[in-house]
Amino acid sequence: MLDSIILGDVARISTENRELLKRFEDSTLLISGGGGFLGAYIIDVLQYCNENIFKKPCKVICLENFITGVPERIKHLLSKEHISIMNKDVSKPFEIDIKPDYIIHCAGIASPTVYRKFPLETIEVNVMGLKNLLELARKSNVKSFLSFSTSEIYGNPTPENIPTQEAYNGNVSCTGPRACYDESKRLGETLCVSYYQQYGIPIKVVRPFNVYGPGLRLDDRRVIPDYFKDAFLQGKIVLLSDGKPTRSFCYISDATIGFIKALLSDCSGEAFNIGNDEIEISMLDLAKKVAEIIGDVEIEHQQSIEKNYLTDNPQRRCPDLTKSKKLLAYYPSVHLQEGLLRLKQWYINNYNLKT
Ligand SMILES: NC(=O)c1ccc[n+]([C@@H]2O[C@H](COP(=O)([O-])OP(=O)(O)OC[C@H]3O[C@@H](n4cnc5c(N)ncnc54)[C@H](O)[C@@H]3O)[C@@H](O)[C@H]2O)c1
């Protein structure tokens, strides 16, 4: 059964965007990386629509190799008639006997600690995996193709480029410890635009800015789960930087609506920032917030045992959402405090934790 916190989000997304989502009725969607944080949420929305909104269900095919995804997260979908989960590495050439109407390439290795451990697999899924799916899109004559890029393609933006617009070309190292991720996502965007220009494939690219929320595994090693893990398990949050870098965090239900709006838009060949511009918060203030939410938690500074933990770490990250607001009518609405409280409850429900 789907967890009550995710179910609440999914029900709200589906009812508030009912007419838009109906465009998926009776169609086939292929989602790579559907066992991960963002992909599983999209499948949950589609399954909710199949059960509560659509007269004719959509079919969903999820391709996953579980390099970071957890089978447990999507086990409630295994028995669903219109959902198939296939164990497949999309970076390797594959044959598949379907012609999807929509393709969503969500597979990737997103956590910096994990991609530094698997740099080649990270490049492969962002480039070869994407190319395999673009080829499938070409053969299938898809209605739309959504590719997941990242805000990391901007690297460490110069101060005058924060908040960062899509038109900013970035300030990125091609050899540093983050390059396997940032540069392969950049090449991924070039591939998408080239398939659009050469073959007319209706691609859209999203650049998520630090999405968080239920479904983000506690040991993911991104900053929000790291803080919760420290706070829950040892009553002490360990800061691995001086606490000054800032980020803007976007709750997953807002981001999911943004992804769906981009996929269903007419803006082929375009890239969109998807995030939340409400607040840009320092890592120290974020730690204080999580400490307050859990209660009775100290904050301590330490150096990471990972030598390259902070190399090329962007100092600030904040999206300019002008383009997404104008062309997608994307307006994030979940405040950081509310999102963190929902995530706390999800961790309590799913990891048997106590405050
Ligand atoms: N969550 C964010 O804030 C964020 C921000 C920027 C970009 N992104 C991008 O969005 C996408 C989804 O991110 P996420 O947060 O859900 O990450 P995630 O790690 O939770 O999920 C990615 C999924 O892809 C699967 N995968 C990886 N390589 C694969 C392969 N070769 N074949 C099949 N499956 C494979 C993993 O097992 C995992 O389940 C990624 O491309 C990521 O780079 C996410």
Mean pLDDT of the chain: 95
Q: How far is the CA of 334 from the centre of ligand 1 (A)?
A: 22
CATH of 4-217+249-279+314-334, one of 3.40.50.1820, 3.40.50.11890, 2.60.40.3140, 3.40.50.720: 3.40.50.720
Reply yes or no on whether 181 is catalytic. yes
Measured from CB, residues less than 6 Å from any atom of ligand 1 are 32-33, 35-39, 63-69, 89-91, 106-110, 125, 129, 148, 150, 208, 210-211
In this structure, the number of other CB atoms found within 10 A of the CB of residue 313 comes to 17
Task: With a cut of 80, say whether residue 312 has pLDDT above it.
Answer: no
What is the band of 89 on the pLDDT scale with cuts at 50, 70, 90? Answer: very high
Q: What is the pLDDT of residues 173-195, one digit of tens each?
A: 999 999 999 999 999 999 999 99
Q: How far is the CA of 66 from the centre of ligand 1 (A)?
A: 10
Return the pLDDT at 33. Answer: 98
Return the pLDDT at 305. Answer: 78
Q: What is the pLDDT of residues 211-256, one digit of tens each?
A: 999 999 999 989 999 999 999 999 999 998 889 999 999 999 999 9
**If you search the block for the tokens 């697999």, which residue do you land on?**
121
Task: With a cut of 90, say whether residue 307 has pLDDT above it.
Answer: no
Name the residue type at position 118.
F
Task: With a cut of 80, say whether residue 310 has pLDDT above it.
Answer: no
Return the pLDDT at 309. Answer: 73
Q: Which atom of ligand 1 is nearest to the CA of 40?
A: 16
Read off the pLDDT of each residue in 253-271 and give the average, rounded to a whole number: 98
Read off the pLDDT of each residue in 6-22 and give the average, rounded to a whole number: 97
Read off the pLDDT of each residue in 85-107 and give the average, rounded to a whole number: 96
Pairing of strands 59-64, 83-87: parallel
What is the residue extent of each domain of the chain? 4-217+249-279+314-334
Mutate to test the pocket of ligand 1, among 30, 66, 67 (most ligand atoms within 8 A of CB): 67
Residue having the nearest C-alpha atom to atom 42 of ligand 1: 110
- Predicted TM-score (pTM) of this structure: 0.97
Task: With a cut of 90, say whether residue 93 has pLDDT above it.
Answer: yes
Question: For residue 131, which of 32, 227, 257 has the smallest C-alpha distance?
Answer: 32
| Catalytic-role residue among 48, 115, 168, 181 | 181
Q: How far is the CA of 106 from the centre of ligand 1 (A)?
A: 6
Of the chain, the percentage scoring pLDDT greater than 90 comes to 91
**If you search the block for the tokens 């607040």, which residue do you land on?**
279
